[in-house]
Amino acid sequence: MKKAILTLAFLMAGWLMVPCASAEFRSAKDMQNECRIALGVIQGTTPKSSDNVLLAGECVGYVQGAVDASQALAENVSWYKVCTPDNTSTFVLIQKFIAFVDANPKYTLASTAVQMMLAQEFPCKKGK
């Protein structure tokens, strides 16, 4: 009986430590704030504290990941055409994302805002 209770307690403790799988919905404004910090860290105008570097990394990863995903999507479907030039820097993409969120407050999710920014800023030329 004691062994069964210990086993149950061990399983319960393990269950409590496992993170729940759930979707994360980032607001465009929250991501914009992180991206403002990223620009400051990159330019050297914001202190490179561990918190700021972490937020900058989240912005860079999010924006660059969205660009990578948009390129794969554009290659495989006909209804989404974004052609971000290969030589476009992440710095420029972040600047464009920040400006887009300011100009388009109706896009409240970061995922939507970054994809709409890419579609607006980097449409494919005719024939692509």
pLDDT, greater one: 72 or 128: 72
Cα gap 128→74, rounded to integer Å: 10
* Distance between CA atoms of residues 118 and 75, nearest Å: 15
Span 74-91, average pLDDT: 89
Question: Which residues on neighbouring strands pair with residue 82, listed in sequence order?
Answer: 123
Quick one: pLDDT band at residue 38, thresholds 50, 70, 90?
Answer: very high
Question: Which of 76, 107, 108, 71 has the alpha carbon at shortest distance from 88?
Answer: 71
* pTM (two decimals): 0.77
HSE of 114, CA atoms in CB hemisphere, 13 A:
29
